[in-house]
Amino acid sequence: MMFFEAGAKAQRETGIPIIIHTHEGTMGPEQAEMLAGAGADPNQTIIRNMDGDTDVSYHIATLEHGVDIAFDPFGIQGIVGASMDTMRQTCLIGLLGMGYSDRMALSHDTVNVWLCHPVVLPNAVAELLANWHITHLFETSSPCSRTPASPTSR
C-alpha cells in the first residue's frame, strides 16, 4: 500500500498521471480502489496490461473506479491459449460497443533489448512470444491491417 500512497502523493504534488501495471490482467479493480483510497485522481490514472483477463465484467469493475485502462501485450500467446489475441480483440470490441472508447488505450510493450543485448529466449518461450514484437498490433491485430476480400474471391 505504501507504493500507492507514494504515487498518489506524487500525483497530488505534481499533477502527473499515474500509470500502473497489472500482472496478466489481475488486480485491476483492487489497484484502482487502493489508488483512489490513497487520494490519487482516477481521471489521471491508467491501469495497463488489463487484457491478460478477457472477462468484460473485470474491465467494467475497474473502469467503475474512474480510471482508464490499457490493452498492451498483444502478440503474447499461451497465457489462456493460442487464441489470446482473438479473445483480447473480442473483449476490446465489446467495451468499445458499450461506450468506453474514451477510457481505453491501445499500446504495445515488448522487450527488444535487455541489458544492451538482444533478448535470447528458450525455444518453447520464443514460440509463445513469436508475435510479441513492436509492429504486431498494427500488422495483424488492428482492423486496419486486414485487407478486405476482393469481390471475385467470395
- Rounded Cα–Cα distance for residues 106 and 136 (Å): 12
Model-level pTM? 0.80
Structural domain including 133 reads 2-143
How much is the average pLDDT of 113-136? 82
| pLDDT value, residue 143 | 56
In angstroms, the Cα distances linking 5 to 2, 12, 62 are: 5, 11, 19
Q: Report yes or no on 153 lying in a domain.
A: no
Q: What percent of the chain has pLDDT over 90?
A: 45
Cell of 126: 520464443
Structural domain count, the chain? 1
- Look at residue 153 and tell me whether its pLDDT is greater than 70: no
Q: Report yes or no on 154 lying in a domain.
A: no
Task: Check which CATH number belongs to the domain holding 91 and give it.
Answer: 3.20.20.140
